[in-house]
Amino acid sequence: MLQIDKEVFRNNLLLTQQYCELQLANAEKNHASILRSINPVVNGKSIFDFCFITNYNYESIRADIPEVYIFDFHSNWTTDPFNHDSLDDSPINSLFEEQLKRKAALVYESSLESEGGVLAVRIWDTVVDGAAQGESRGFLDEYDFPPVDTWFYKIVGADEAILFAWVPKQFMWLVDQGIAVNVPDMMGWFEKEYPQDYTRVMN
């Protein structure tokens, strides 16, 4: 059983749902940037930068369509998120704490019920091969992380660390594509990966 503080988990989830709802109003933004609005400057550089890339669309081979390229934006970390032995000392941890503070500073309430899913990411199991980033059209990054605006809870243990993120419904299909090409068990939907914990925490 995962060690999850139910009250903190649910409060942070609600806060993140509300924050993401605000950001989704910026419809002109792309998959990579729309939920990476929290982008603090460290050592003179924003943690994330964004680039325009061209991907070959392998589906076009089977579908026999003329558009064989997909044009996307990707995000890149400007600092190595794993440059410390301990997660507590890493940029991941400081960014996690910073984004929660920024969300909490917003005075915002919504009566709308958010639709989406909770993603569980095993931080230490990431493989930096770009596969999930490409298949998710930039929604996931090169380290397989979902956008920082979606982060809301983490568990850090002796052997593993799990990051929980809220994925709005319209982006779940992109995450599914990323999961399909990723390392088995590196990430998955909370309710499928940990069904007993999901029931205990979410009900």
Closest residue by Cα to residue 49 from 75, 83, 31 = 75
Closest residue by Cα to residue 202 from 10, 16, 17, 18 = 10
- In this prediction, residue 110 carries a pLDDT of 65
155 contact partners, CB below 8 Å, separation of at least 6: 2, 3, 4, 161, 162, 164
- Which of 13-22, 94-103, 107-116 has the least mean pLDDT? 107-116
- In this prediction, residue 41 carries a pLDDT of 87
- Both tokens of 116, joined, read 């989406």
Mean pLDDT of 61-86: 64
The model's pTM is 0.86
Distance CA 87, CA 186 (A): 17
